[in-house]
Amino acid sequence: MEARGLVKGSLEVGVVGFGGIPIQRLSEDKAVQLIKLAAEEGINFIDTARAYGASEKLIGIGIQGNREHWIIATKTMARTYEAMKKDIETSLNNLRCGTIDLYQTHLVKTKEQYNQIMGPDGAYKALMEAKAEGKIREIGLTTHSVDILELAIEEGHFVTVQFPYNAVEQQAEAAFQRAKEKNIGVIVMKPLAGGAITNGNLALRFILENPNITVVIPGIDKLEQLKENAAIGRSFTPLTEEERQELKRLKEELGSKFCRRCGYCLPCPQNIDIPTQFLLVGYYTRYELQDWAVERYQGQTVRASACTKCSACEKRCPYDLPIREMLDEVVSHLGK
């Protein structure tokens, strides 16, 4: 498989990785079988998170006996020093390894969260201590906000950034180019636009045409999926003009009801985190993670059902999305 440098001078990864969120719904036997086959197919980068249910534990079991093959990434939404210290230890235990290759501060949404992480009692301090102790090798950041992505790239505290990118969501292309200029690795999540793109072959090839991308991490929970994804990384072929037109048509079709999570709709007068509502309903309807999505949705302090139909969000949305109608659909799937 083609390899690209995730971190300058170290961590060479195959261009197609293993997104670990969906394996939480597999049995231990099936998850281990999938991870072992991924290694045989040439995949060597695997990404998980503290928030992904049993994913860390299943990966920890699956890599036993072959740890040296894998570059392991995990992440947490811990923002404080103590919370991050605790989560690093939990991840080390779950993953059954002495060192985690890449530990990421996960889903940073606002400048306030970023500043908290980077502050004197913030999560970054714990990450740096863990790196000095050999518990982690490198530190990364994940976000859905272009503003936070650009800030992280320019400040240079993180060696990798992880962001959604696909044939529908291309708002970060300039930032990716800047990351490459600064030798910051780019990990692409949501390559199928949360399941909205059904042709995985075209979706991955579109992403790999971008030389600023280091690795793409499609979620994997089926053997056929795994083999197809790995084959794309081993023998990449550029898109034809006909295939580009197919993706263009899909983008146009999704435009009327597809949230790019740009955040321009915020702040909501009712304090609803609108992009997160659409992210969770996508996991429910497209990823077959119904129980997990409902649990995370119900765990929010303010949910989609708090919408008063004021329309402030729709006036700010650059894509003219029918946000009020879409929030009603969230409630119909995930509850009040």
* Statement to judge: residues 79 and 141 lie in one domain: yes
- Is the residue at 256 inside a domain? no
- pTM score, whole prediction: 0.85
Q: Are residues 15 and 151 in the same domain?
A: yes
The C-alpha atoms of residue 285 and residue 3 are separated, in whole angstroms, by 33
Provide the β-strand partners of residue 75.
104
Q: Which residues of 164-176 are buried (b: 16+ CB within 10 A; e: fewer)?
A: bbbbbbeebeebb
Please report the pLDDT score of residue 9 as a whole number: 67
Give the tokens for residue 140: 């990364």
Same domain, 171 and 132: yes
One domain for residues 186 and 328: no
pLDDT at 263 > cutoff 90: no
Tokens of 297: 């949705």
Claim to verify: residue 116 and residue 187 sit in the same structural domain: yes
290 falls within a domain: yes
Does 206 reside within a domain? yes
Q: What is the pLDDT of residues 270-282, one digit of tens each?
A: 999 999 999 899 8
Read off the tokens for 259: 């949230």
Q: Are the beta carbons of 280 and 296 closer than 8 angstroms?
A: yes
What residue numbers bound the domain in which 7 lies?
3-244
**Across residues 88-114, what is the average pLDDT?**
97
- Is the pLDDT at 334 greater than 90? The verdict is yes
If asked whether residues 304 and 211 sit together in one domain, one would say: no
Residue % of the chain over a pLDDT of 70: 99
Domain count, the chain: 2
CATH number of the structural domain spanning residue 81: 3.20.20.100
Confidence band for 115, pLDDT divided at 50, 70 and 90: very high
Name the residue among 44, 21, 31, 7 with its Cα closest to residue 191.
Answer: 21
- For 60-75, give the secondary structure using H, E and C: HHHCCCCHHHCEEEEE
239 and 329 housed in the same domain: no
3-state secondary structure 15-57: CECEECCHHHHCCHHHHHHHHHHHHHCCCCEEECCCCCCCHHH
pLDDT of residue 323: 96
Per-residue pLDDT at 222: 93
Q: Are 230 and 312 within one domain?
A: no
Q: What are the structure tokens assigned to 221, written together?
A: 């929970």
Pair 203, 305 in one domain: no
Q: Tens digit of pLDDT for each residue in 126-143?
A: 999 999 999 999 999 999
**pLDDT at position 10, please?**
78
